[in-house]
Amino acid sequence: MLTQNSLILLRGLPGAGKSTLAHVLSENNTYPIFSVDDFFTDEISGEYVFNFNDNHLAYKQCEELSRDAMKQNIAKVFVHNTFTMDWELEPYFKLASEFKYALFVVTVENYHGKQNTHGVSNEQLHKMAEKYKVKLL
């Protein structure tokens, strides 16, 4: 039986299946799911329009929504972002510590061979993959 609240960070390259896995794990949206992508996605049409100039605002919104959920003592909070660099993870490590949440970092890999839905080019995917580090020890 789970006795401690959990912050689950799903990381991986675009198209890996982070969003899909977050929805599966959230038990039919019983638990909140947050992503930087939410900032760029129109709530009504579902259209995704990325604007690099607003990226810092998207990161801030994702962190604040996560913080608010943790303040409410919600048992499980899911965040799915690429998290290719350590600095992207660090705010969530601090949140987990502040609110005494168990922290899980889950790497999602693209074994299914699907393409990302945001139009990220193969060239950009390769650049992201080069920066991606997995901490095994």
List the domain range (segments joined by +) for residue 63. 6-131
What is the count of structural domains for the chain?
1
Q: 90 in a domain, yes or no?
A: yes
Asked, for residue 1, whether it belongs to a domain, the answer is no
Domain-located, residue 136: no
Q: How deeply is 16 buried, as exposed, middle or buried, from its count of CB atoms within 10 A (0-12, 13-18, 19+)?
A: buried
- Domain contains 127: yes
- Position 133 scores a pLDDT of 85
Distance CA 36, CA 14 (A): 12
Give CA–CA dist 134/16, Å, rounded: 15
Q: What is the pLDDT of residues 66-106, one digit of tens each?
A: 999 999 999 999 999 999 999 999 999 999 999 999 999 99
- Say if 81 falls within a structural domain: yes
